[in-house]
Structure 1
Amino acid sequence: MKALKNLEQIRKQDNESWLHPWESMTDVGAANRTVVQRAEGIHVYDEKGNRLIDGPGGMWCMQIGYGRQEMADAIAQQIMQVPYMNPFSLTSEPSARLAAKLAELAPGDLNHVFLTTGGSTAVDTALRFVHFYNNVKGRPNKKHIISRASAYHGSTYLCSLVTGKDRDRNWFDIGSPTVHFLPSVNPSRRPAGMSVEAFADEKVRDLEQKILELGAENVGAFIAEPIQSSGGVIVPPNGYLRRCWELCRKYEVLYISDEVVTGFGRLGHWFASKDVFGIEPDLITSAKGLTSGYLPLGACLISDRVFAEVSGRRARGATFGHGFTYSGHPVCSVAALKSIEIIEREGILEHVRELGPYFQSRLQELRDIPIVFDVRGMGLVGCVECSVKSIAEDSLAFDSDLGARIDRHCHELGLMVRPIVNQCVFSPPLVITKQEVDQMMDALREGIVRTMHDIEQELGITIA
């Protein structure tokens, strides 16, 4: 593929006009971002025409791969038929069908679906429902929310309150006396000499102690990603989530499972909550893979058990006064339905369950590289965390440069990486093949090794 002819103009417009997410304000206007000019299958093509494996799968969302003609056809047809409808007073066939399909696919009794515009608004919906639920039930004090360190639940104000990544909270006034964070559940950071089983016991105790400290009558919900994705693909110890869910039932605390990343096949199932972790949450939030990234859409699923307590004769005349102009957008709903159809027809969930162990084994092989501190993941999501222990550097700037170097080298080798500081996270399109996994891992290994050699040469050290 040829290089872009108008690259200079695109870069100028990008730097002067587009304020990107997580923009470094110190360097704003001087970015040299990759310009994606085409995408097909698991690959994207940069401004020079280079073909790159999309390691992060967009933003954890590209399930069925790029360039699906039937997706384009379904979207175009719906645009010409009904491009928009008012969700406050009207409905449409795609929106109704999608809600019914999600209820069918969801675990347990999560049969009520609130369609949103993305992951953040799905989480906002869940949190607002917790407030609504307890107000209708006459429990105005039961509003405290328990989250966890390293959690990421979105970027709008309400869901940023329950996000536990310090670097995402800096410079914003987003503290709340009704939001509480439990310590990290990352097993690789457990105290020396502590077994994983003992660590799991401690993390479960953290939750129960916090509920008792606050008073169960004051705690509205516990929110948790099955795998803390943006926090660095932190996989909790075996049984941790199930035991947390049981505590929530014991103390009448609603359990919100944030499956914005893990839903729709990332771990080989429509939803990971029950099939992977053995829990049936009161609410599930989802987005990203719901449409395979083709259009923005999110959903908050609510259980019958909870819904029944604030509806019908128990509603006390209340209205759930919450919604968005683009709730249940018919075109986005069609994109979700078509993506789900493709996943079902092509057996993509089965493919992930078959390929996942191989993907994880190839990741684990990287542990022999001296600067690799930890490797973790599940299904088709993974993280390689790098550090240089032999020098005194322990700063955000050094760690960020480490990740950026790996990214640059991998780009040269035909792999797109998404570094989160010093952590390289991966969630490739679910249609990736075994051969393509090998290509991806070979490039990643070489990119990390080249980065290590760069540091050795520049600092005059040998990393072992």
Structure 2
Amino acid sequence: MRKTIESTTLGVSAWQQDKDHVIHPYANFEHFATEGATVYNRGQRHFIFDDRGNEYIDGIAGLWCVNIGHGNEELAQHIGNQARNLAYFNTFEDATSPSAAQLAAKLAQLCPGDLNHTFFGTGGSLANDTAVKMVHYYFNMLGQHKKKKILSRNLGYHGSTYLAHALTGIASTHLGFDLPQDDITYLDTPYPYRRPEGMDLEVYCDHLIEKMEEKILEIGPEHIACFIAEPIMGAGGVIVAPDGYLPRAYALCKKYGILTISDEVVTAFGRLGKMIASKEMFNVQPDIMVLAKGLSSGYVPLGATVISSEMYKVIGRPKPENPYFSHGFTYSGHALACATGLKNIEIMERDGFCDHVGTWGPYFKDRLCTLADLPIVGEVRGSHFMLALEYVKDKRTKEPFPNDINIGKMVYRSAKKRGLIIRPIGPLNVLSPPLTFDKEAIDRTVHIMQESILETVAHLHKEGAL
């Protein structure tokens, strides 16, 4: 018998249909059943519009990803043309498309060192799963079958597929899922704002590296396959490690025969003013780079796992018992997605998006730092168009707000009613706007943030929470 779904009846709102039938990522089930979701139906540059016609500044680029801005007509036309020509054909074994080949060649040009070989997927989570799967395959092909363990970091974020979620070091998100964590060790977060009292940054960096080496020796380097890290930690709090931390961590990995994975899902394609940040900004050369989000500016789902020529020489050898590399997805190297990524990069390079962020990123941070004097702002941090504010109950002691006060969400709600979308993450608000953000958008954003924080402070005082 055919199932009848009343909420698809003509005239029922998208809001109601969504509430009745869509399972949202990271849904808050305490509130969703009554509040539902805001329906956004149009975007232009760094503005987003809901189905009631309300305009908002998109302070989070959709979710770190709409780098060239909403509604780019040139990219939209290109996507339509590609769809008419060839939307999809599989890339299994001996098939490809011009766009998959050309985008892989372009990524080899953009990525540092010998990162010359790309496996395509549909997003960052899948790309991180692929990276670890390739690492294990690589060591197995070398006969080093014991090298299975993975070093990640507390508060690192690497996705939500089964393995990528386990790589993610945000403990609260693990609850209830029974993730495959037995082979994963979470290292200390390189979190300067929360470093031990009285410890300067140089000593703190020494401390982190010493603890990392101790953990490597405790596990045994012969058991450790790889270390995965974001150049700047994203969803874990926009945490910028002390100077020198990443090069020293990578040097430890090289010393002990551990491969390195740079998760540039957020940081690549202009967010920090560079197309690729690892080498140019942080002086590290990974064995594997993971890309997504800004790769297609979110116009279509696309992710990439880029590996070194050294790795490819090993995994590209046919096994006697099975010559196939038995890994792949229906949408790997999707012709439309790859064409979108290629055109997106062309637009970014031609129109100087990285230069724009290089100019306005420091201004954005400087303006946001003017909010550091507000009563609950403990720290403003980040780089260029990847910034965050951390709120505290007591600025002198850095005492956090209790869990029952969702301070980030309170400021978010106040900002949203003023026409600004920011991202609440516990005691933080994150700002990661489209790279079209200009002086007017920055100034307006900071003004709304100030008003929203002050309104939140007044409410906390009224409730006796401050």
Q: Which residue of 2 aligns with 1:430?
A: 435
Post-superposition CA distance 1:263-305 (Å, at most 9, x none): 1111111111001100110000010000001000000000112
Post-superposition CA distance 1:169-194 (Å, at most 9, x none): 11110142211001121110001100
Post-superposition CA distance 1:315-349 (Å, at most 9, x none): 98653211110001111111111110110111111
Q: 1:296–1:393: structure 2 CA closer, same or farther, 3 Å change rule?
A: closer
Q: 1:242–1:366: structure 2 CA closer, same or farther, 3 Å change rule?
A: same
Q: Show the 5 A alignment for 1:409-428.
A: 409-428=414-433
In the alignment, structure 2 segments of 5+ residues that lack a partner are 1-9
Instruction: Write the letter of the residue equivalent to 2:208.
Output: K
Q: Which residue of 1 aligns with 2:7?
A: none
In 1, the alpha carbon distance for the partners of 2:323 and 2:181 equals 26
Q: Give the secondary-structure state (helix, strand or coil) at the position aligned to 2:463.
A: helix
Post-superposition CA distance 1:399-450 (Å, at most 9, x none): x2x2222112111222111111221001100111122111111111111111
Q: Which residue of 2 aligns with 1:3?
A: none
Instruction: Write the letter of the residue equivalent to 1:325.
Output: T
> Is 1:94 matched with 2:124?
no
Shift of 1:100: 0.5
In 1, the alpha carbon distance for the partners of 2:52 and 2:456 equals 23
Shift of 1:9: 1.8
In 1, the alpha carbon distance for the partners of 2:363 and 2:67 equals 18
Q: Give the secondary-structure state (helix, strand or coil) at the position aligned to 1:112.
A: strand
Q: Give the secondary-structure state (helix, strand or coil) at the position aligned to 1:96.
A: helix
TM-score (norm 1): 0.94
Q: Show the 5 A alignment for 1:78-227.
A: 78-89=82-93, 90-227=95-232
Select between 264-273 and 385-394 the one with higher mean Cα deviation.
385-394
Select between 312-321 and 426-435 the one with higher mean Cα deviation.
312-321
Q: Which residue of 1 aligns with 2:3?
A: none
Q: How many residues align?
A: 454
Q: Show the 5 A alignment for 1:326-337.
A: 326-337=331-342
Among 64, 69, 88, the alignment partner of 2:73 is 69
Q: 1:455–1:76: structure 2 CA closer, same or farther, 3 Å change rule?
A: same
Q: 1:393–1:208: structure 2 CA closer, same or farther, 3 Å change rule?
A: closer
Q: Which residue of 1 aligns with 2:452?
A: 447
Instruction: Write the letter of the residue equivalent to 2:79.
Output: I
Q: Show the 5 A alignment for 1:253-272.
A: 253-272=258-277
Instruction: Write the letter of the residue equivalent to 1:163.
Output: T
Q: Which residue of 2 aligns with 1:239?
A: 244
Post-superposition CA distance 1:129-154 (Å, at most 9, x none): 01100110001101110000001101
In 2, the alpha carbon distance for the partners of 1:452 and 1:313 equals 63
Instruction: Write the letter of the residue equivalent to 1:73.
Output: Q
Instruction: Write the letter of the residue equivalent to 1:269.
Output: K
TM-score (norm 2): 0.94
* % identity of equivalent residues: 42
Q: Which residue of 1 aligns with 2:361?
A: 356
In the alignment, structure 1 segments of 5+ residues that lack a partner are 1-5
What do you get for the CA RMSD once the two structures are aligned?
A: 1.9
> Is 1:457 matched with 2:456?
no
Q: 1:95–1:315: structure 2 CA closer, same or farther, 3 Å change rule?
A: farther
Shift of 1:24: 2.4
Q: Which residue of 2 aligns with 1:285?
A: 290
Q: Which residue of 1 aligns with 2:402?
A: 395
Among 14, 21, 43, the alignment partner of 2:18 is 14
In 1, the alpha carbon distance for the partners of 2:268 and 2:336 equals 21
Q: Give the secondary-structure state (helix, strand or coil) at the position aligned to 2:69.
A: coil
Among 368, 373, 384, the alignment partner of 1:379 is 384
